[in-house]
A and B are shown apart, each in its own frame.
Chain A
Amino acid sequence: MSLVFAGVCSHAPGITGRRDRADPVVRDAFYSAYDRMRQALEAARPDVLVVVGAEHFANFFMNNMPALCVGMGDHYEGPIEDEAWLGIKHARFPGAPELSMQLIQDMMNDVDLAYAQEWKFDHGIMVPLHFLTPRADLPIIPVNINCQGPPLIPLKRCYDFGRALKRACDARPERIAVIGTGGISHWPATPDSGRINEPWDREFLDKFLGNRREELLAYDDAETWREAGQGGLEIRTFIAVAGAAEGHTGELWFYAPIPIFAVGCTVAVMNL
């Protein structure tokens, strides 16, 4: 049946952890956009949700860091962070190990993947799921792209991963949804936390929503680092979704810099 939904959203821990410190008007508009995304996701009636994230040393460390890893667990749990700090209660999520195995096997014709049967979600996946699957009842297949530090997978290979995911999904009877979560410009967990480069974000979003592959792949990591912070390297997750939705453009449902959330808060959905 293939992909029935593709979108992107933010995942910064402040979004839930520091919810009381944001301007309530902007915050509630942002939360409404997440909720609109939840409704659209539910309307697509997916059997499983693939979450392409960029975790922050919850499962993977510099002793053995995969560039790309796909979950193959029969369940997952999170958050790994303190519940009060993140503002999200601990939950257990069903996995889809059989389907994961099939997808991974198929995708490996095109891309090299690690797999993991054990995986604990950090804010990078918990924040989106908190809004999108509040009952924790939709089977999840997590994907991690290492965006935390170099050496980093080239952007082109992220797009290729998205293409491989789409192709593998096409070969399956299940209805599969995918979301990417990361970026856009931000300087998380540094003294520059709260800084957001809105013009950079808007330009990136324009290229992403237009799914203009060449322009997306032309971003240079050193420049992204300078202009969009180390958190900007997480654009890899958006680019993977662009690859999965190749040939389709998207719609921006929300964008606003919310400094106390330390990120330009984004919700966007591809028109498949």
Chain B
Amino acid sequence: MSLYNVQKLLFQLNRDPAVRRRFDDAFETLLADYELTEEEQHALRDPDIGLLYVMGVNGQILMHYAALRGFEWNAYMEAMREGERKYGPVRTGLYTRAQGR
């Protein structure tokens, strides 16, 4: 699990236009710059927003990736719910203690 690296990639993508250009033009080489597991690479590539949520990616980082990949707000909400149905509860991080669910 290299959740930190997944979040770092997404943080830099949100923040840095140069990373954004690499995302557009050379996605695989961008991924290769971060130590990521197969599952993480898949989740980013697919993109599997629900799986990224279940992995524990902070929503304040993830919501921008979802928007960038064309998920409208309701679709983003639904993707997270779908992720929980498919992969189980959030594995680590801030949302493991989310209320009553």
Q: A57-B11, A57-B14 are in contact. Are A188 and B59 (CB under 8 A)?
A: yes
Q: Give the segment of B21-29, B30-38, B40-48, B62-70 that binds chain A.
A: B62-70
Complex contact B60–A190 (CB within 8 A):
no
A55 CB, min distance to chain B CBs, angstroms:
9
List which B79-101 residues lie within 8 A (CB) of chain A. 80-81, 84, 93-95, 97-99, 101
List which A185-210 residues lie within 8 A (CB) of chain B. 187-193, 195
A81 within 8 A of B: yes
Q: How far is the CA of A63 from the CA of B8 in the complex (A)?
A: 9
Complex contact B60–A189 (CB within 8 A):
yes
A149 CB, min distance to chain B CBs, angstroms:
5
B residues with a Cβ closer than 8 A to A are 4, 7-8, 11, 14-15, 53, 58-64, 67-68, 73, 77, 80-81, 84, 93-95, 97-99, 101
Q: A57-B61, A63-B8 are in contact. Are A187 and B99 (CB under 8 A)?
A: yes
Using a Cβ–Cβ cut-off of 8 Å, how many residues does chain A contribute to the interface with B? 29
* A-B contact number at CB 8 A: 70
0 or 1 for each of A38-81: is its CB under 8 Å from B? (1 = yes): 00000000000000000011110111000000000000000011
List which A173-192 residues lie within 8 A (CB) of chain B. 187-192
Complex contact B4–A62 (CB within 8 A):
yes
**What residues on B are CB-neighbors of A14 within 8 Å?**
73
Q: How far is the CA of A14 from the CA of B59 in the complex (A)?
A: 14
List which A218-236 residues lie within 8 A (CB) of chain B. 225-227, 229-230
A2 within 8 A of B: no
A136 CB, min distance to chain B CBs, angstroms:
21
Complex contact B81–A56 (CB within 8 A):
no
**What residues on B are CB-neighbors of A226 within 8 Å?**
97, 99
**What residues on B are CB-neighbors of A61 within 8 Å?**
7-8, 11
Can you show 23 pairs from A to B with CB atoms below 8 A apart?
A: A57-B11, A57-B61, A61-B11, A62-B7, A62-B8, A82-B64, A148-B60, A149-B93, A149-B94, A189-B58, A190-B53, A190-B59, A191-B77, A191-B80, A191-B84, A191-B98, A192-B98, A192-B101, A195-B99, A225-B97, A226-B97, A226-B99, A229-B99
